[in-house]
Amino acid sequence: MNKAFVKESDDEDDGQASPEPAVPAGRNYMTRRGYDALRAELDELVRRERPKIVEVVSWAAGNGDRSENGDYIYGKKRLREIDRRIRFLIKRIETATVVDPSEQGHLEQVFFGATVTICDADGDHEQRFQIVGVDEADAGAGRVSWISPIARALMKSREGDLVRFDSPAGPREVEVLAIEYR
């Protein structure tokens, strides 16, 4: 094949999934905790990790032949990964809208930042989670993204409401037991 039709760059994807979450266009809501976590990660990358890798790459480049120098090759690859993550974090921080759940005006309804306790319609399985931004979602820690099917279905619901939604496991019906804002 002619090289004109082949993508050749240092940023070629190596087949691994990108750690960045799918981002809805225009809206980037997050809690203060999520915003601070992104800022801390960006600070760590810019102030500590990137300078350390630059030092290794500089040292390796001074050793001569770069084509067979593992420190140089892998250092450059890691540097590209760090730079890609830095660009992503800067973009996410610039577009962030920080929402403080404790300042919510309608405490009787589910909105962004709410901590919701739900129970399956049959009453045997209770769950509690907070609705947070895309970047801070962690189902294992009880935080779900505001664009997830369950969060979208629960928006504007009240205590005692039955909510139906399509989950990855199929249709579900849950009852809202409690709504808190902290």
CATH of the domain at 174: 3.10.50.30
5 pLDDT more than 50: no
Report pLDDT for 19.
54
- The pair of three-digit structure tokens given for residue 80, joined into one six-digit string: 């590209």
β-pairing, 29-30 vs 97-98, is parallel
Task: Convert the pLDDT of each residue in 27-72 to its tens digit.
Answer: 789 999 999 999 999 999 999 999 999 998 988 888 877 777 888 8
Residue after which a domain boundary falls, among 68, 97, 126: 97
Which of these, 158, 180, 177, lies nearest to 120 by C-alpha position? 177
Which of these, 125, 122, 128, 96, lies nearest to 110 by C-alpha position? 128
Of the chain, the percentage scoring pLDDT greater than 70 comes to 86
pLDDT band for position 11 (50/70/90)? very low
DSSP-assigned letter for residue 5 = G
Both 41 and 54 in a single domain?
Answer: yes
Kindly report which listed range (12-21, 42-51, 140-149) carries the lowest average pLDDT score: 12-21
Residue after which a domain boundary falls, among 97, 117, 146: 97
Does residue 167 lie within any of the structural domains? yes
Is the whole-model pTM more than 0.85?
Answer: no
Residue 75: C-alpha distances to residues 68, 79, 81, 118, 147 (Å): 13, 6, 10, 48, 36
Does residue 76 lie within any of the structural domains? yes
Task: Convert the pLDDT of each residue in 92-117 to its tens digit.
Answer: 999 999 998 888 777 899 999 999 99
Does residue 93 lie within any of the structural domains? yes
CATH of the domain at 43: 1.10.287.180
**Cβ 28 vs Cβ 95: under 8 Å:** yes
Residue after which a domain boundary falls, among 82, 97, 112: 97
Cα 39–chain centre separation: 13
Residue 39: C-alpha distances to residues 20, 78, 157, 163 (Å): 15, 20, 32, 36
Report pLDDT for 10.
45
Cα-Cα-Cα-Cα torsion 168, 111, 113, 137, nearest 10 degrees, comes to 20
In terms of residue numbers, what domain contains 53? 26-97
Does residue 13 lie within any of the structural domains? no
Does residue 80 lie within any of the structural domains? yes
Average pLDDT over residues 135-149: 93
Does residue 6 lie within any of the structural domains? no
